[in-house]
Chain A
Amino acid sequence: MYDTGKIMTGLAAVLVMLTLPFWYSAATGKAGEKHDPVLPKTEKKCVESRQYMRDSHMDLLNQWRDAVVREDRHTYVSQDGTRYEMSLTNTCMKCHVERAQFCDKCHTYMGESPFCWDCHLDRKGVL
């Protein structure tokens, strides 16, 4: 084929880049360890079910954000009829307390860095 040298070099470079996460982690030993989030000790019931929260906690938070900031509405009625104040710091973090022990556990492993904490604070005032 034409330009064999260029093509083979290019293919090799692409292969190296595609497999980068695997061999880089192996080489530097920086592979993330999966840590489970620290669950609240006393409270066993969250605003919505565990499955719903796993799937859609970001949708819930966005819904709360728009309701509180843009519509001046502050009460949320969950699927089982319980009423909650819509607030990350006052409601979510009342039970989950520290973002480093709860939110960050999954987010860090997944390489997710949501910008909530650029502005919002957890109950310990941790930045």
Chain B
Amino acid sequence: MDGSRRAFLKTAGCAILGAGLAAPIARTVGGAVSADPTPGELKAGRWAIVVDVRKCLERENCRACIDACHVAHNVPLIKNPAHEIKWIWKEPFKDTFEAEAHPHLDKGLAGQHVLVLCNHCDNPPCVRVCPTKATWKRADGIVMMDQHRCIGCRYCIAGCPYGSRSFNWQDPRPFITTGIKPEYPTRMKGVVEKCTFCTERLLKGLAPACVEVCNKVAGPGTMTFGDIRDPGSDVVRMLKTGFSIRRKPGLGTEPQIFYLV
């Protein structure tokens, strides 16, 4: 091949590559994001939830928190358990607390169902493994999701010791049977989702949907939320009322959902 033609092609290729990698043209300057806090937003040093299992078990067939959460957040209802999406649900005690369950628990506690959801761990393994920071721990402890950034690799699902995360194997919209709430986005196929501690409600000074509806139907005390670092908070007060446990504490994840048993 003619040497100079080859050299020309090589130079042309590099030039195109260089031009493509060149920084984008300077954008027209717009406004600025305000650093002011949003009035009315609930703030905490470290959010936590306390579930009183004994009180919750008195209402074995209650699904108030599950329905409130899933309806408010446009969570699809997919019947096939292989593809289902759930942010909060119930599991048998013996599976949720493997270490604490034994065949001779009183009142057959082992088979009864306790509430499970994302634990918003203080040392979250899902955050550690995410390659794009599509999930991260906020300053207030909430493990948040950015579905714009998620590449759908499902490493966070592999890393979660609690099975709290769900992947959208398909477009979820046809499965949102309860009527889409326009004020909260749905998700698209190919991204992971989970409980995000109702950040959109905390913004408006409201309690998470599950806690609010539980207080309404079961009275205060079954589900409590608050700032675990605030000695005067409801959660700290609740935890003083009895013995509490967490899921799989030995893994060092520091889960922030406490169960009064």
- Interface residues in chain A, defined as those with a beta carbon under 8 Å from any beta carbon in chain B: 47-48, 51-52, 55-56, 59-60, 63-65, 67, 69-79, 83, 86, 89-90, 115, 118-125, 127
Contacts A67-B33, A119-B185 given; does A74 touch B203 at CB 8 Å: yes
Does A56 lie within 8 Å of B28, measured CB to CB?
yes
Tell me which residues across on chain B come within 8 A of A65, comparing CB atoms: 148
Name the residue of chain A whose CB is nearest to the CB of B190. Answer: A118
Least CB distance, A77 to chain B, in whole angstroms: 5
B-chain residues with CB within 8 Å of residue A127 when the two chains form the complex: 173, 180
| A116 CB to nearest chain B CB (Å) | 9
CB distance A76 to B33 under 8 Å?
yes
Minimal beta-carbon separation of B174 from chain A (angstroms): 10
Residue of B with least CB distance to A47: B31
Query: Is there an interface contact between A73 and B27, defined as CB atoms closer than 8 Å?
Result: no
Q: Mark B176-213, 1 if CB is under 8 A from A, else 0.
A: 00001011011110000000000100010000000000
Give the dominant DSSP class at A's interface.
Answer: mixed
Q: Given the known A-B contacts A89-B182, A118-B188, are A69 and B31 also in contact in the complex, defined by CB atoms under 8 Å?
A: no
Task: List the interface of chain B (C-beta within 8 A of A).
Answer: 27-36, 38, 136, 138, 144, 146-148, 171, 173, 180, 182-183, 185-188, 199, 203
CB distance from A90 to the nearest CB of B (A): 7
B148 touches A48 (CB 8 A): no
- A87 CB, min distance to chain B CBs, angstroms: 9
A76 near B34 with CB under 8 A, answer: yes
In the complex, chain B residues whose CB is within 8 Å of the CB of A75: 33-34, 36, 38
Contacts of B34 in A (CB 8 A): 73, 75-77, 83
Chain B residue nearest to A62 (CB atoms) is B148
Q: Establish whether residues B183 and A90, one from each chain, have CB atoms under 8 Å apart when the complex forms.
A: yes
Cross-chain pairs A/B with CB under 8 angstroms, 23 sampled: A47-B31, A48-B30, A48-B31, A52-B28, A52-B30, A55-B27, A63-B30, A63-B33, A69-B146, A70-B146, A72-B138, A72-B199, A75-B33, A75-B36, A76-B31, A76-B33, A78-B31, A118-B186, A118-B188, A119-B187, A119-B188, A120-B185, A127-B180
Are B36 and A56 touching (Cβ within 8 A)?
no
**B180 contact from A70, A115, A121, Cβ within 8 A:** A121
What residues of chain B lie closer than 8 Å to A90, measured between beta carbons? 183
The answer to whether A119 and B186 have CB atoms under 8 Å apart is yes
- Complex alpha-carbon distance, A72 and B29, angstroms: 22
Asked if A79 contacts B31 (CB within 8 A), the reply is: yes
Centre residue among A52, A69, A115, A122 by max chain B CB count within 10 A = A69
* Residue among A56, A69, A118, A124 having the largest count of chain B Cβ atoms under 10 Å: A118
In the complex formed, the residue of A with least CB distance to B200 is A68
Given known contacts A67-B33, A75-B34, is B27 in contact with A59 (CB within 8 Å)?
Answer: yes
